[in-house]
Protein backbone atom coordinates (compact mmCIF):
# COMPACT_ATOMS: atom_id res chain seq x y z
CA UNK A 1 0.00 0.00 0.00
CA UNK A 2 1.34 3.39 -0.97
CA UNK A 3 0.63 6.30 1.32
CA UNK A 4 -0.15 9.52 -0.54
CA UNK A 5 -0.29 11.97 2.36
CA UNK A 6 -0.30 12.21 6.13
CA UNK A 7 -1.49 14.98 8.46
CA UNK A 8 -1.22 15.32 12.22
CA UNK A 9 -3.18 17.58 14.57
CA UNK A 10 -2.46 18.02 18.27
CA UNK A 11 -4.58 19.96 20.77
CA UNK A 12 -4.52 20.81 24.43
CA UNK A 13 -8.17 20.94 25.48
CA UNK A 14 -9.39 22.56 28.70
CA UNK A 15 -12.82 22.47 30.39
CA UNK A 16 -13.55 25.94 28.96
CA UNK A 17 -13.16 24.40 25.49
CA UNK A 18 -16.35 22.35 26.01
CA UNK A 19 -19.22 22.73 23.50
CA UNK A 20 -17.10 23.99 20.64
CA UNK A 21 -16.74 23.15 16.95
CA UNK A 22 -13.07 23.33 15.95
CA UNK A 23 -12.79 23.57 12.14
CA UNK A 24 -9.81 22.00 10.39
CA UNK A 25 -9.09 20.94 6.83
CA UNK A 26 -6.71 18.81 4.80
CA UNK A 27 -6.00 18.34 1.10
CA UNK A 28 -6.56 15.08 -0.75
CA UNK A 29 -4.67 14.46 -4.00
CA UNK A 30 -6.02 12.76 -7.12
CA UNK A 31 -5.94 8.97 -6.96
CA UNK A 32 -6.79 8.57 -3.26
CA UNK A 33 -8.88 5.50 -2.40
CA UNK A 34 -9.25 5.69 1.38
CA UNK A 35 -8.79 7.97 4.37
CA UNK A 36 -7.75 6.54 7.74
CA UNK A 37 -8.26 8.71 10.84
CA UNK A 38 -6.60 7.72 14.10
CA UNK A 39 -7.19 9.71 17.24
CA UNK A 40 -6.89 9.41 21.00
CA UNK A 41 -6.85 11.65 24.02
CA UNK A 42 -5.43 11.40 27.52
CA UNK A 43 -6.56 11.47 30.21
CA UNK A 44 -10.01 10.11 29.39
CA UNK A 45 -11.65 10.11 32.81
CA UNK A 46 -12.00 11.84 36.14
CA UNK A 47 -11.09 9.72 39.13
CA UNK A 48 -13.87 8.47 41.42
CA UNK A 49 -13.87 11.39 43.85
CA UNK A 50 -13.63 14.00 41.09
CA UNK A 51 -16.45 12.24 39.26
CA UNK A 52 -18.73 12.32 42.30
CA UNK A 53 -18.18 16.02 42.83
CA UNK A 54 -18.80 16.71 39.16
CA UNK A 55 -21.96 14.58 38.96
CA UNK A 56 -23.80 15.75 42.08
CA UNK A 57 -25.32 18.90 40.57
CA UNK A 58 -26.69 17.00 37.56
CA UNK A 59 -28.17 14.33 39.82
CA UNK A 60 -29.62 17.00 42.13
CA UNK A 61 -31.47 18.63 39.22
CA UNK A 62 -32.65 15.26 37.91
CA UNK A 63 -34.24 13.89 41.06
CA UNK A 64 -35.71 17.25 42.13
CA UNK A 65 -38.42 17.15 39.41
CA UNK A 66 -41.47 15.19 38.37
CA UNK A 67 -44.39 14.15 40.52
CA UNK A 68 -42.23 12.99 43.46
CA UNK A 69 -39.22 15.36 43.62
CA UNK A 70 -36.40 14.57 46.04
CA UNK A 71 -33.93 16.90 47.75
CA UNK A 72 -30.47 15.42 47.31
CA UNK A 73 -29.30 17.10 50.53
CA UNK A 74 -31.68 14.88 52.52
CA UNK A 75 -30.22 11.62 51.19
CA UNK A 76 -27.98 9.60 53.52
CA UNK A 77 -24.39 9.35 52.30
CA UNK A 78 -24.71 5.66 51.42
CA UNK A 79 -27.90 6.33 49.42
CA UNK A 80 -26.23 9.22 47.60
CA UNK A 81 -23.21 7.07 46.71
CA UNK A 82 -25.55 4.33 45.45
CA UNK A 83 -27.44 6.85 43.31
CA UNK A 84 -24.18 8.16 41.84
CA UNK A 85 -22.71 4.72 41.13
CA UNK A 86 -24.28 4.20 37.65
CA UNK A 87 -22.80 7.51 36.45
CA UNK A 88 -19.22 7.08 37.65
CA UNK A 89 -16.66 7.70 36.23
CA UNK A 90 -17.29 10.95 34.35
CA UNK A 91 -15.39 11.20 31.08
CA UNK A 92 -14.28 13.59 28.39
CA UNK A 93 -16.44 13.32 25.27
CA UNK A 94 -14.75 14.38 22.03
CA UNK A 95 -15.91 13.52 18.52
CA UNK A 96 -15.51 14.71 14.92
CA UNK A 97 -17.41 14.98 11.65
CA UNK A 98 -16.02 14.92 8.13
CA UNK A 99 -17.16 16.44 4.80
CA UNK A 100 -15.74 15.94 1.32
CA UNK A 101 -14.97 18.80 -1.13
CA UNK A 102 -18.52 18.59 -2.54
CA UNK A 103 -19.95 19.24 0.91
CA UNK A 104 -21.19 15.66 1.41
CA UNK A 105 -21.21 14.30 4.95
CA UNK A 106 -18.74 11.39 5.04
CA UNK A 107 -18.48 10.29 8.64
CA UNK A 108 -18.24 10.71 12.36
CA UNK A 109 -16.30 8.91 15.03
CA UNK A 110 -18.66 8.54 18.01
CA UNK A 111 -16.65 6.69 20.69
CA UNK A 112 -13.64 5.80 18.55
CA UNK A 113 -11.36 8.53 19.88
CA UNK A 114 -12.26 7.32 23.36
CA UNK A 115 -11.56 3.69 22.41
CA UNK A 116 -8.48 4.58 20.36
CA UNK A 117 -9.89 2.84 17.27
CA UNK A 118 -9.05 3.95 13.72
CA UNK A 119 -11.81 5.15 11.38
CA UNK A 120 -11.88 4.40 7.65
CA UNK A 121 -13.63 6.21 4.79
CA UNK A 122 -13.15 4.17 1.63
CA UNK A 123 -14.49 3.95 -1.90
CA UNK A 124 -16.19 0.59 -1.26
CA UNK A 125 -16.20 0.00 2.47
CA UNK A 126 -16.02 2.31 5.48
CA UNK A 127 -16.29 2.30 9.24
CA UNK A 128 -19.72 2.09 10.83
CA UNK A 129 -21.23 5.57 10.82
CA UNK A 130 -19.24 6.63 7.75
CA UNK A 131 -20.23 6.90 4.10
CA UNK A 132 -18.38 5.05 1.33
CA UNK A 133 -17.85 6.51 -2.13
CA UNK A 134 -15.37 8.36 -4.28
CA UNK A 135 -12.53 9.97 -2.36
CA UNK A 136 -12.69 13.30 -4.15
CA UNK A 137 -9.52 15.35 -4.57
CA UNK A 138 -9.51 18.76 -2.95
CA UNK A 139 -10.08 20.24 0.50
CA UNK A 140 -11.88 18.05 3.05
CA UNK A 141 -13.44 19.67 6.13
CA UNK A 142 -12.68 18.01 9.45
CA UNK A 143 -14.49 19.39 12.51
CA UNK A 144 -13.56 18.45 16.07
CA UNK A 145 -16.57 18.41 18.43
CA UNK A 146 -15.78 19.03 22.09
CA UNK A 147 -19.05 17.82 23.60
CA UNK A 148 -17.54 17.84 27.10
CA UNK A 149 -14.06 18.38 28.46
CA UNK A 150 -14.26 17.66 32.17
CA UNK A 151 -10.51 17.43 32.59
CA UNK A 152 -7.60 18.93 30.68
CA UNK A 153 -6.47 16.49 28.02
CA UNK A 154 -4.23 16.20 24.98
CA UNK A 155 -5.92 15.14 21.73
CA UNK A 156 -3.72 13.65 19.02
CA UNK A 157 -5.11 13.00 15.53
CA UNK A 158 -3.36 11.44 12.55
CA UNK A 159 -4.95 11.33 9.08
CA UNK A 160 -3.48 9.02 6.43
CA UNK A 161 -4.58 9.07 2.78
CA UNK A 162 -3.83 5.95 0.74
CA UNK A 163 -4.11 5.07 -2.95
CA UNK A 164 -5.59 1.61 -2.23
CA UNK A 165 -8.86 0.72 -0.51
CA UNK A 166 -7.66 -2.41 1.25
CA UNK A 167 -6.90 -1.61 4.87
CA UNK A 168 -8.82 -3.84 7.30
CA UNK A 169 -9.64 -2.24 10.65
CA UNK A 170 -12.21 -3.02 13.37
CA UNK A 171 -15.88 -2.00 13.10
CA UNK A 172 -16.27 -1.79 9.34
CA UNK A 173 -19.74 -1.65 7.79
CA UNK A 174 -20.34 -4.77 5.72
CA UNK A 175 -23.40 -5.66 3.66
CA UNK A 176 -26.87 -5.72 5.22
CA UNK A 177 -28.68 -9.06 5.55
CA UNK A 178 -32.51 -8.73 5.47
CA UNK A 179 -34.46 -10.20 8.38
CA UNK A 180 -37.89 -10.24 6.74
CA UNK A 181 -38.45 -11.04 3.07
CA UNK A 182 -41.47 -9.61 1.30
CA UNK A 183 -43.48 -6.55 2.19
CA UNK A 184 -45.49 -5.87 5.34
CA UNK A 185 -49.13 -5.00 4.59
CA UNK A 186 -50.89 -3.67 7.68
CA UNK A 187 -53.33 -0.94 8.59
CA UNK A 188 -55.26 0.29 11.62
CA UNK A 189 -53.41 0.60 14.90
CA UNK A 190 -49.74 -0.32 14.36
CA UNK A 191 -47.07 -0.38 17.08
CA UNK A 192 -43.64 1.14 16.73
CA UNK A 193 -40.55 2.58 18.36
CA UNK A 194 -39.61 6.11 17.29
CA UNK A 195 -36.14 6.17 18.84
CA UNK A 196 -33.63 3.38 18.17
CA UNK A 197 -29.84 3.24 17.83
CA UNK A 198 -27.54 0.80 16.08
CA UNK A 199 -23.79 0.28 16.03
CA UNK A 200 -23.61 2.96 13.34
CA UNK A 201 -23.58 5.34 16.32
CA UNK A 202 -23.31 4.29 19.98
CA UNK A 203 -25.67 1.31 19.97
CA UNK A 204 -24.30 -2.17 20.62
CA UNK A 205 -26.52 -3.97 18.10
CA UNK A 206 -26.14 -4.17 14.33
CA UNK A 207 -29.22 -2.96 12.50
CA UNK A 208 -30.23 -6.59 11.91
CA UNK A 209 -30.21 -7.06 15.71
CA UNK A 210 -32.36 -3.95 16.22
CA UNK A 211 -34.89 -5.30 13.69
CA UNK A 212 -34.94 -8.77 15.28
CA UNK A 213 -35.55 -7.23 18.69
CA UNK A 214 -38.37 -5.08 17.32
CA UNK A 215 -40.06 -8.16 15.89
CA UNK A 216 -39.64 -10.03 19.19
CA UNK A 217 -41.34 -7.11 20.96
CA UNK A 218 -44.30 -7.34 18.63
CA UNK A 219 -43.59 -4.06 16.87
CA UNK A 220 -44.77 -3.30 13.35
CA UNK A 221 -42.17 -0.62 12.53
CA UNK A 222 -39.22 1.35 13.90
CA UNK A 223 -37.46 4.62 13.16
CA UNK A 224 -33.68 4.26 13.11
CA UNK A 225 -32.39 7.45 14.75
CA UNK A 226 -28.63 7.15 15.06
CA UNK A 227 -26.78 10.19 16.37
CA UNK A 228 -26.20 12.90 13.74
CA UNK A 229 -26.14 10.49 10.79
CA UNK A 230 -28.28 8.39 8.45
CA UNK A 231 -25.54 5.99 7.31
CA UNK A 232 -27.23 3.07 9.06
CA UNK A 233 -30.58 3.52 7.36
CA UNK A 234 -28.85 4.06 3.99
CA UNK A 235 -27.15 0.67 4.34
CA UNK A 236 -30.45 -1.27 4.60
CA UNK A 237 -31.26 -3.29 1.49
CA UNK A 238 -34.36 -5.37 0.68
CA UNK A 239 -35.68 -5.37 4.26
CA UNK A 240 -39.35 -6.35 4.49
CA UNK A 241 -39.80 -5.08 8.05
CA UNK A 242 -40.55 -1.34 7.97
CA UNK A 243 -37.44 0.55 9.11
CA UNK A 244 -38.06 4.25 8.56
CA UNK A 245 -35.37 6.92 8.25
CA UNK A 246 -34.60 9.30 11.08
CA UNK A 247 -31.80 10.97 12.95
CA UNK A 248 -31.19 12.11 16.51
CA UNK A 249 -29.74 15.60 16.33
CA UNK A 250 -27.32 15.21 19.22
CA UNK A 251 -26.37 18.76 20.11
CA UNK A 252 -24.53 20.39 22.99
CA UNK A 253 -27.85 21.78 24.25
CA UNK A 254 -30.33 18.91 23.90
CA UNK A 255 -31.33 15.97 21.72
CA UNK A 256 -33.94 16.27 18.97
CA UNK A 257 -35.28 13.46 16.80
CA UNK A 258 -36.20 14.04 13.16
CA UNK A 259 -38.57 11.50 11.61
CA UNK A 260 -38.72 10.77 7.88
CA UNK A 261 -35.37 12.42 7.13
CA UNK A 262 -32.95 10.53 4.88
CA UNK A 263 -30.27 13.19 4.50
CA UNK A 264 -27.61 14.56 6.83
CA UNK A 265 -28.73 17.62 8.79
CA UNK A 266 -26.14 20.02 10.12
CA UNK A 267 -26.94 19.84 13.81
CA UNK A 268 -24.72 22.78 14.80
CA UNK A 269 -27.52 25.12 13.60
CA UNK A 270 -29.12 24.35 16.98
CA UNK A 271 -27.62 26.59 19.65
CA UNK A 272 -28.73 29.10 22.31
CA UNK A 273 -28.60 32.05 19.89
CA UNK A 274 -31.11 30.68 17.37
CA UNK A 275 -32.77 27.81 19.23
CA UNK A 276 -34.27 25.04 17.15
CA UNK A 277 -35.91 27.09 14.39
CA UNK A 278 -33.34 26.53 11.64
CA UNK A 279 -33.06 22.81 12.31
CA UNK A 280 -36.84 22.38 12.42
CA UNK A 281 -37.21 24.26 9.14
CA UNK A 282 -34.57 22.00 7.56
CA UNK A 283 -36.41 18.90 8.79
CA UNK A 284 -39.75 20.19 7.50
CA UNK A 285 -38.22 21.12 4.13
CA UNK A 286 -37.22 17.44 3.76
CA UNK A 287 -40.77 16.31 4.56
CA UNK A 288 -39.96 15.22 8.10
CA UNK A 289 -41.29 15.92 11.58
CA UNK A 290 -39.35 17.48 14.46
CA UNK A 291 -39.46 16.05 17.99
CA UNK A 292 -37.89 17.06 21.31
CA UNK A 293 -36.38 13.93 22.88
CA UNK A 294 -36.16 13.20 26.63
CA UNK A 295 -36.09 16.93 27.57
CA UNK A 296 -35.69 16.37 31.33
CA UNK A 297 -33.21 13.50 31.37
CA UNK A 298 -30.01 13.77 33.36
CA UNK A 299 -27.63 16.33 31.86
CA UNK A 300 -24.03 17.52 31.84
CA UNK A 301 -21.56 16.16 32.68
CA UNK A 302 -23.22 12.76 33.19
CA UNK A 303 -25.10 12.57 29.90
CA UNK A 304 -23.47 15.30 27.87
CA UNK A 305 -25.99 17.44 26.00
CA UNK A 306 -28.83 14.98 26.69
CA UNK A 307 -30.99 17.37 28.74
CA UNK A 308 -32.69 20.17 26.82
CA UNK A 309 -31.29 23.48 28.09
CA UNK A 310 -32.49 25.65 25.22
CA UNK A 311 -35.36 28.10 25.29
CA UNK A 312 -37.56 26.12 22.87
CA UNK A 313 -39.96 27.85 20.49
CA UNK A 314 -42.67 25.19 20.58
CA UNK A 315 -44.32 26.42 17.38
CA UNK A 316 -41.51 24.57 15.55
CA UNK A 317 -42.16 21.24 17.34
CA UNK A 318 -44.36 18.42 16.04
CA UNK A 319 -43.86 15.82 18.78
CA UNK A 320 -42.56 15.49 22.33
CA UNK A 321 -41.10 12.37 23.92
CA UNK A 322 -43.26 12.15 27.05
CA UNK A 323 -42.30 8.56 27.96
CA UNK A 324 -38.65 7.65 27.50
CA UNK A 325 -37.32 4.22 28.47
CA UNK A 326 -38.46 2.42 31.63
CA UNK A 327 -41.19 4.48 33.27
CA UNK A 328 -40.31 3.48 36.84
CA UNK A 329 -36.58 3.97 36.41
CA UNK A 330 -37.01 7.33 34.67
CA UNK A 331 -40.11 8.46 36.53
CA UNK A 332 -38.69 11.86 37.54
CA UNK A 333 -38.06 12.93 33.95
CA UNK A 334 -41.12 11.27 32.41
CA UNK A 335 -43.60 12.84 34.81
CA UNK A 336 -41.87 16.21 34.33
CA UNK A 337 -42.31 15.75 30.56
CA UNK A 338 -45.98 14.98 31.13
CA UNK A 339 -46.39 18.21 33.09
CA UNK A 340 -44.75 20.16 30.28
CA UNK A 341 -46.94 18.47 27.65
CA UNK A 342 -50.16 19.28 29.50
CA UNK A 343 -49.10 22.92 29.79
CA UNK A 344 -48.20 23.17 26.10
CA UNK A 345 -51.54 21.65 25.10
CA UNK A 346 -53.32 24.15 27.33
CA UNK A 347 -51.42 26.96 25.60
CA UNK A 348 -52.82 25.79 22.29
CA UNK A 349 -49.88 23.84 20.85
CA UNK A 350 -50.91 20.65 19.07
CA UNK A 351 -47.83 18.64 19.89
CA UNK A 352 -48.15 14.86 19.72
CA UNK A 353 -46.94 12.91 22.74
CA UNK A 354 -44.91 9.79 21.93
CA UNK A 355 -43.00 7.10 23.81
CA UNK A 356 -39.75 5.38 22.90
CA UNK A 357 -37.17 2.98 24.25
CA UNK A 358 -34.13 4.98 23.06
CA UNK A 359 -32.66 1.49 22.66
CA UNK A 360 -28.86 1.24 22.67
CA UNK A 361 -28.54 -2.29 24.12
CA UNK A 362 -30.91 -5.17 24.82
CA UNK A 363 -30.90 -4.08 28.47
CA UNK A 364 -32.80 -0.93 27.40
CA UNK A 365 -35.95 -2.97 26.77
CA UNK A 366 -38.20 -4.43 29.46
CA UNK A 367 -41.93 -4.99 30.11
CA UNK A 368 -41.92 -1.39 31.41
CA UNK A 369 -40.84 -0.02 28.00
CA UNK A 370 -43.38 1.87 25.90
CA UNK A 371 -44.80 1.07 22.49
CA UNK A 372 -46.28 3.90 20.46
CA UNK A 373 -49.38 2.98 18.45
CA UNK A 374 -50.30 5.01 15.37
CA UNK A 375 -53.55 4.66 13.40
CA UNK A 376 -52.86 4.40 9.66
CA UNK A 377 -54.73 3.54 6.49
CA UNK A 378 -51.57 1.82 5.28
CA UNK A 379 -48.29 1.06 7.01
CA UNK A 380 -45.88 3.30 5.13
CA UNK A 381 -43.81 6.36 5.96
CA UNK A 382 -46.25 8.92 4.55
CA UNK A 383 -49.17 7.56 6.58
CA UNK A 384 -47.12 7.23 9.77
CA UNK A 385 -45.95 10.85 9.53
CA UNK A 386 -49.43 12.13 8.67
CA UNK A 387 -51.07 10.34 11.60
CA UNK A 388 -48.26 11.35 13.96
CA UNK A 389 -48.76 14.98 12.99
CA UNK A 390 -52.53 14.64 13.54
CA UNK A 391 -52.06 13.02 16.96
CA UNK A 392 -53.70 9.70 16.10
CA UNK A 393 -51.43 8.08 18.67
CA UNK A 394 -51.47 6.31 22.01
CA UNK A 395 -48.63 4.93 24.13
CA UNK A 396 -48.70 1.74 26.18
CA UNK A 397 -46.34 -0.66 27.85
CA UNK A 398 -48.72 -3.53 26.99
CA UNK A 399 -52.52 -3.38 26.85
CA UNK A 400 -54.32 -1.90 23.88
CA UNK A 401 -56.60 0.98 24.80
CA UNK A 402 -59.33 3.00 23.13
CA UNK A 403 -60.94 6.39 23.72
CA UNK A 404 -63.73 8.34 22.05
CA UNK A 405 -66.10 11.22 22.74
CA UNK A 406 -69.40 10.86 20.92
CA UNK A 407 -68.24 10.10 17.34
CA UNK A 408 -64.72 11.55 17.72
CA UNK A 409 -61.60 9.54 18.47
CA UNK A 410 -57.95 10.20 19.38
CA UNK A 411 -56.54 13.12 17.41
CA UNK A 412 -59.92 14.48 16.31
CA UNK A 413 -61.37 17.91 17.05
CA UNK A 414 -64.92 18.45 18.31
CA UNK A 415 -67.00 21.52 19.05
CA UNK A 416 -67.90 22.66 22.55
CA UNK A 417 -71.27 21.03 22.98
CA UNK A 418 -71.96 20.73 26.68
CA UNK A 419 -72.86 17.19 27.73
CA UNK A 420 -70.93 14.48 25.82
CA UNK A 421 -70.46 10.72 26.09
CA UNK A 422 -66.89 9.59 26.78
CA UNK A 423 -66.16 5.92 26.03
CA UNK A 424 -63.00 4.05 26.98
CA UNK A 425 -61.58 0.55 27.05
CA UNK A 426 -58.43 -1.29 28.06
CA UNK A 427 -57.36 -4.90 27.66
CA UNK A 428 -56.31 -4.92 31.34
CA UNK A 429 -58.18 -3.71 34.39
CA UNK A 430 -56.49 -0.42 35.32
CA UNK A 431 -57.02 2.85 37.19
CA UNK A 432 -58.31 5.52 34.81
CA UNK A 433 -57.61 9.25 35.02
CA UNK A 434 -59.40 11.69 32.70
CA UNK A 435 -57.54 14.96 32.06
CA UNK A 436 -59.38 18.04 30.80
CA UNK A 437 -57.26 21.12 30.13
CA UNK A 438 -54.49 19.90 32.40
CA UNK A 439 -56.67 18.94 35.37
CA UNK A 440 -57.90 15.53 36.49
CA UNK A 441 -61.70 15.67 36.21
CA UNK A 442 -62.49 12.00 36.76
CA UNK A 443 -60.84 8.95 38.31
CA UNK A 444 -62.22 5.42 37.97
CA UNK A 445 -60.28 2.68 39.76
CA UNK A 446 -59.83 -0.87 38.49
CA UNK A 447 -61.80 -0.57 35.27
CA UNK A 448 -61.75 -2.31 31.89
CA UNK A 449 -64.24 -0.26 29.90
CA UNK A 450 -67.14 2.08 30.32
CA UNK A 451 -69.11 5.12 29.27
CA UNK A 452 -69.47 8.33 31.25
CA UNK A 453 -71.13 11.64 30.50
CA UNK A 454 -69.02 14.76 30.92
CA UNK A 455 -69.58 18.46 30.42
CA UNK A 456 -67.23 20.14 27.93
CA UNK A 457 -67.93 23.81 28.38
CA UNK A 458 -64.52 25.24 27.42
CA UNK A 459 -62.24 24.83 24.40
CA UNK A 460 -59.02 22.88 24.97
CA UNK A 461 -58.24 19.19 25.10
CA UNK A 462 -59.12 15.97 26.89
CA UNK A 463 -57.11 12.76 27.13
CA UNK A 464 -56.79 9.60 29.28
CA UNK A 465 -54.09 8.03 31.45
CA UNK A 466 -54.24 4.41 32.65
CA UNK A 467 -52.29 3.53 35.82
CA UNK A 468 -51.51 0.42 37.83
CA UNK A 469 -51.04 1.62 41.39
CA UNK A 470 -48.14 4.08 41.09
CA UNK A 471 -46.98 3.26 37.57
CA UNK A 472 -48.18 4.59 34.23
CA UNK A 473 -49.36 1.81 31.90
CA UNK A 474 -50.90 3.66 28.95
CA UNK A 475 -51.75 7.16 27.78
CA UNK A 476 -53.75 8.54 24.87
CA UNK A 477 -53.20 11.66 22.84
CA UNK A 478 -55.99 14.23 23.13
CA UNK A 479 -59.30 14.82 21.52
CA UNK A 480 -59.30 18.59 20.99
CA UNK A 481 -62.23 20.89 21.73
CA UNK A 482 -62.74 24.06 19.71
DSSP 8: E
pLDDT digits (tens, 9 = 90+) for 297-347: 999 999 999 999 999 999 999 999 999 999 999 999 999 999 999 999 999
pLDDT digits (tens, 9 = 90+) for 381-405: 999 999 999 999 999 999 999 999 9
Residue 184 in this model has a pLDDT that exceeds 80: no
Share of the chain above pLDDT 90, in %: 94
Residue 2 in this model has a pLDDT that exceeds 80: no
pLDDT value of residue 182: 80
Residue 126 in this model has a pLDDT that exceeds 70: yes
Q: Work out the average pLDDT over 191-208.
A: 97
pLDDT digits (tens, 9 = 90+) for 48-89: 999 999 999 999 999 999 999 999 999 999 999 999 999 999
Q: Work out the average pLDDT over 343-362.
A: 97
pLDDT value of residue 183: 77
Residue 212 in this model has a pLDDT that exceeds 60: yes
> Which regions of the chain carry the CATH code 2.60.120.380?
3-45+91-162
> Which regions of the chain carry the CATH code 2.60.40.10?
399-482
pLDDT band of residue 374 (cuts 50, 70, 90) is very high
pLDDT value of residue 127: 96
Rounded to whole angstroms, the Cα distance separating 129 from 145 reads 16
pLDDT digits (tens, 9 = 90+) for 230-289: 999 999 989 999 999 999 999 999 999 999 999 999 999 999 999 999 999 999 999 999
Q: Which CATH architecture has domain 177-397?
A: Alpha-Beta Barrel (3.20)
Average pLDDT along the chain? 96
pLDDT value of residue 417: 81
Residue 1 in this model has a pLDDT that exceeds 80: no
Q: What sections of 359-398 are H helices per DSSP?
A: 381-390
> Which regions of the chain carry the CATH code 3.20.20.140?
177-397
pLDDT value of residue 460: 96
Fold of 399-482: Immunoglobulin-like (2.60.40)
pLDDT value of residue 143: 98
pLDDT value of residue 167: 82
pLDDT digits (tens, 9 = 90+) for 444-467: 999 999 999 999 989 999 999 999
Q: Count other C-beta atoms under 10 Å from residue 94's C-beta.
A: 27
Rounded to whole angstroms, the Cα distance separating 132 from 402 reads 46
Best CA proximity match to 307, nearest among 62, 68, 38, 82: 62
Rounded to whole angstroms, the Cα distance separating 324 from 296 reads 10
Q: Does the domain at residues 3-45+91-162 carry the CATH identifier 3.30.365.10? A: no
Distances (CA, A) of 196 to 19, 300, 374, 410, 450: 25, 22, 17, 25, 36
Contact 95, 108 (CB under 8 A): yes
Amino acid sequence: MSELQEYTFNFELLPEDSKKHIPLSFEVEEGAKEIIIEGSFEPKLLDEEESKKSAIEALKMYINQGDFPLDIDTLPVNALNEALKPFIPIRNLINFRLFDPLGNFRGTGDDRFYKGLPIKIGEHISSLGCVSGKIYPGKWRFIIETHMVVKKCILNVKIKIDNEDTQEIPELSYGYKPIVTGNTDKKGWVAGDFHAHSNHSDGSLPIEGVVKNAIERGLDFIFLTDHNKISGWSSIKREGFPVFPGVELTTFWGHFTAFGVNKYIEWSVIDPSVGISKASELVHSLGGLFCVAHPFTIGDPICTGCRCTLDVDWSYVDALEIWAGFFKERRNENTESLKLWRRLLLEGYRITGIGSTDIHTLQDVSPDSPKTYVFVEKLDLANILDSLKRGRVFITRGPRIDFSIDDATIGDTIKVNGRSKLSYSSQDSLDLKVFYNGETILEIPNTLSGEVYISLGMPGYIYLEFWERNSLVAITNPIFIS
